[in-house]
A and B are shown apart, each in its own frame.
Chain A
Amino acid sequence: MKIKALSRSLDAHAPSSSGAPAPQSRNLDPAQHPFAQAREYTRALNAVKMERMFAKPFVGALEGHSDGVYVVEMDRTRGNVVATGAGDGEIRLWHLPTRSLLQSIPKAHNSIIQSLCLSPLTFSSSSSNGLGSRRLLSCGTDRTVQMWDANPDSGRIEAAMDDDEEDGARDEDGTIGWLKDRKLKRTEPLLTWHSKVAFNSLTHHASSPIFASASTSIQLWDLSRGQSSSSSSSSSSSSALQTLRWGTSTGSSSDTSSINVVRFNQSEPELLVGLGSDRGVNLYDTRTGGAVNGITMSMRANDAAWNPIEPSVFTLASEDQNLYTFDIRNMKSATQIYKDHVSAVMSVAYSPTGQDLVSGSYDRTVRLWSVGRGNRSRDVYHTSRMQRVFSTAWTGDARFVLSGSDDGNVRLWKSQASEKLGVISTKELKAAEYREALKKKWGGTATTPSGGGVGEITRIAKQRRVPKAIKGAQGLKRTMEKAQRVKGERRRKHTREGERKPQSARKKAIVGEKK
Chain B
Amino acid sequence: MARGKSSGSGGSGSGGGGDNHSPRNAQMESIRSHTRLPTSLQQSAPLQGVRPPKSLSLSSIPDKKLRSNLSRDALSTLRARSHATQADTYLYQGPVGEEAGQLEAEGEMERTARLTQGEIKDAVGLEAASKSFSLDLSGGRGGVGLGPYRSAYSPNGRQLLLAGRAGHLASFDWQAGKLNCEIQVKETVRDATWLHNSSFFAAAQKKHVFIYDSAGAEVHRLKEHVDVHRLEFLRYHFLLCSVGGGGWLKYHDTSTGQMVAQHRTKLGACDTLAQNPLTAVLHLGHGNGTVTLWTPNLPQPALSLLAHRGPVSGVSVSPRDGGREMATSGMEGGIKVWDCRLLGRGPVREWVSRKPANEVQYSQRGLLATAWGTHVSIYDTKAPLSSRAPPGPYMTNNFPQSSPVSLAFCPFEDVLGVGHSRGFDSLLVPGAGEPRFDSMELDPFEGRTARREREVRGLLDKIRPDMISVDPSFLGQVREDATKGGAPREEAGPSGLARAQDGTPYARLGRLERLRLEGKAANDGSDSDEEDNHDEDSNAANVAIPSSGPPPPQKERKKARGKNTSMKRYLRKKRGNVVDQASMQVQAKLQRAREEHEERRERKERMARGEGEEQREPSALDVFAVQKKGRRRR
Q: For the complex, what is the distance from the CA of A442 to the CA of B475, rounded to whole Å?
A: 10
Q: Assuming the A-B contacts A32-B434, A32-B441, A450-B496, are A3 and B472 also in contact, with contact meaning beta carbons closer than 8 angstroms in the complex?
A: no
Q: For the complex, what is the distance from the CA of A33 to the CA of B443, rounded to whole Å?
A: 13
Q: Hey, which chain B residues are within 8 Å of A42, CB to CB?
A: 460-464
Q: Is A452 close to B, CB under 8 A?
A: yes
Of residues 55 through 112 on chain B, the ones whose CB sits less than 8 Å from some CB of chain A are 63, 65-66, 69, 73, 84-85, 87-88, 91-92, 94-95, 97-106, 110, 112
Q: Is B179 close to A, CB under 8 A?
A: no
Contact of A452 among B69, B119, B472 (CB under 8 A): B69
Q: Assuming the A-B contacts A9-B95, A37-B473, A39-B461, are A24 and B507 also in contact, with contact meaning beta carbons closer than 8 angstroms in the complex?
A: no
Q: Assuming the A-B contacts A38-B236, A446-B63, are A27 and B475 also in contact, with contact meaning beta carbons closer than 8 angstroms in the complex?
A: no
Q: Assuming the A-B contacts A1-B106, A449-B496, A450-B496, are A8 and B438 also in contact, with contact meaning beta carbons closer than 8 angstroms in the complex?
A: no
Do residues B443 and A25 form an inter-chain contact, with CB atoms below 8 A? yes
Q: Hey, which chain B residues are within 8 Å of A59, CB to CB?
A: none
CB distance from B532 to the nearest CB of A (A): 38
CB distance from A198 to the nearest CB of B (A): 44
Contact of A22 among B69, B92, B445 (CB under 8 A): B445
Q: A-facing mask of B350-375, CB < 8 A → 1, else 0? A: 00000000000000000000000000
Do residues B128 and A6 form an inter-chain contact, with CB atoms below 8 A? yes
Q: Say whether chain B's binding surface is mostly helix, strand, loop, or mixed.
A: loop
Closest to A449 in B: B496
Of residues 469 through 514 on chain A, the ones whose CB sits less than 8 Å from some CB of chain B are 482, 486, 489
Q: Hey, which chain A residues are within 8 Å of B95, CB to CB?
A: 9, 12-13
Q: Is B525 close to A, CB under 8 A?
A: no
Do residues A46 and B101 form an inter-chain contact, with CB atoms below 8 A? no
Q: For the complex, what is the distance from the CA of A444 to the CA of B236, rounded to whole Å?
A: 25
Do residues B97 and A7 form an inter-chain contact, with CB atoms below 8 A? yes
Q: Is A196 close to B, CB under 8 A?
A: no
CB distance from B64 to the nearest CB of A (A): 10
Q: B-facing mask of A35-50, CB < 8 A → 1, else 0? A: 1011101110010000
Centre residue among B125, B322, B445 by max chain A CB count within 10 A: B445
Do residues B320 and A31 form an inter-chain contact, with CB atoms below 8 A? yes
Do residues B97 and A1 form an inter-chain contact, with CB atoms below 8 A? no
Q: Hey, which chain A residues are within 8 Å of B476, CB to CB?
A: 37, 41, 442, 454
CB distance from A261 to the nearest CB of B (A): 32
CB distance from B273 to the nearest CB of A (A): 18
Q: Assuming the A-B contacts A31-B320, A39-B236, are A5 and B472 also in contact, with contact meaning beta carbons closer than 8 angstroms in the complex?
A: no
Do residues B496 and A6 form an inter-chain contact, with CB atoms below 8 A? no
Q: Is A447 close to B, CB under 8 A?
A: yes
Contact of B69 among A13, A32, A46, A446 (CB under 8 A): A446
Q: Is A309 close to B, CB under 8 A?
A: no
Of residues 495 through 516 on chain B, the ones whose CB sits less than 8 Å from some CB of chain A are 495-496, 505, 507-508
Closest to A442 in B: B476
CB distance from B331 to the nearest CB of A (A): 31
CB distance from A92 to the nearest CB of B (A): 45
Closest to A7 in B: B128
Contact of A25 among B73, B94, B106 (CB under 8 A): B94
Q: For the complex, what is the distance from the CA of A6 to the CA of B102, rounded to whole Å?
A: 8
CB distance from B462 to the nearest CB of A (A): 7
Do residues A6 and B101 form an inter-chain contact, with CB atoms below 8 A? yes
Do residues A27 and B434 form an inter-chain contact, with CB atoms below 8 A? yes
Q: For the complex, what is the distance from the CA of A444 to the CA of B97, rounded to whole Å?
A: 46
Do residues B88 and A37 form an inter-chain contact, with CB atoms below 8 A? no
Q: Assuming the A-B contacts A27-B92, A446-B66, are A7 and B124 also in contact, with contact meaning beta carbons closer than 8 angstroms in the complex?
A: yes
Contact of A31 among B127, B319, B461, B508 (CB under 8 A): B319
Do residues B496 and A22 form an inter-chain contact, with CB atoms below 8 A? no
Q: Assuming the A-B contacts A1-B104, A1-B106, A42-B464, are A24 and B124 also in contact, with contact meaning beta carbons closer than 8 angstroms in the complex?
A: no
CB distance from B175 to the nearest CB of A (A): 9
Q: Is B41 close to A, CB under 8 A?
A: no
Q: Is B568 close to A, CB under 8 A?
A: no
Do residues A27 and B88 form an inter-chain contact, with CB atoms below 8 A? yes
Of residues 319 through 354 on chain A, the ones whose CB sits less than 8 Å from some CB of chain B are none
Q: Hey, which chain A residues are within 8 Å of B277, CB to CB?
A: 34
Q: Assuming the A-B contacts A26-B438, A32-B441, A43-B460, are A2 and B97 also in contact, with contact meaning beta carbons closer than 8 angstroms in the complex?
A: no
Q: Is B181 close to A, CB under 8 A?
A: no
CB distance from A500 to the nearest CB of B (A): 16
Q: For the complex, what is the distance from the CA of A12 to the CA of B495, rounded to whole Å?
A: 59
Do residues A7 and B450 form an inter-chain contact, with CB atoms below 8 A? no
Q: Is B413 close to A, CB under 8 A?
A: yes
Centre residue among B112, B319, B443, B476 by max chain A CB count within 10 A: B476
Do residues A34 and B438 form an inter-chain contact, with CB atoms below 8 A? no
Q: Assuming the A-B contacts A6-B413, A6-B414, A28-B88, are A39 and B98 also in contact, with contact meaning beta carbons closer than 8 angstroms in the complex?
A: no
Q: Is B440 close to A, CB under 8 A?
A: yes
Q: Assuming the A-B contacts A3-B123, A7-B97, A8-B98, are A25 and B414 also in contact, with contact meaning beta carbons closer than 8 angstroms in the complex?
A: no
With A4-B103, A26-B91 given, can you name 12 additional A-B contacts, CB distance below 8 Å?
A4-B101, A6-B99, A6-B430, A8-B444, A25-B436, A29-B88, A35-B236, A35-B472, A42-B462, A42-B463, A42-B464, A446-B69
Listed by A's residue number, 21 A-B pairs whose Cβ atoms lie within 8 Å are A1-B104, A1-B110, A1-B112, A2-B106, A6-B128, A7-B128, A28-B85, A28-B88, A29-B88, A31-B278, A31-B320, A32-B437, A35-B472, A39-B236, A42-B463, A43-B461, A441-B73, A446-B66, A446-B69, A449-B494, A486-B505
In order of increasing CB-CB distance, the 4 nearest A-B pairs are: A449-B496, A12-B95, A3-B123, A5-B128
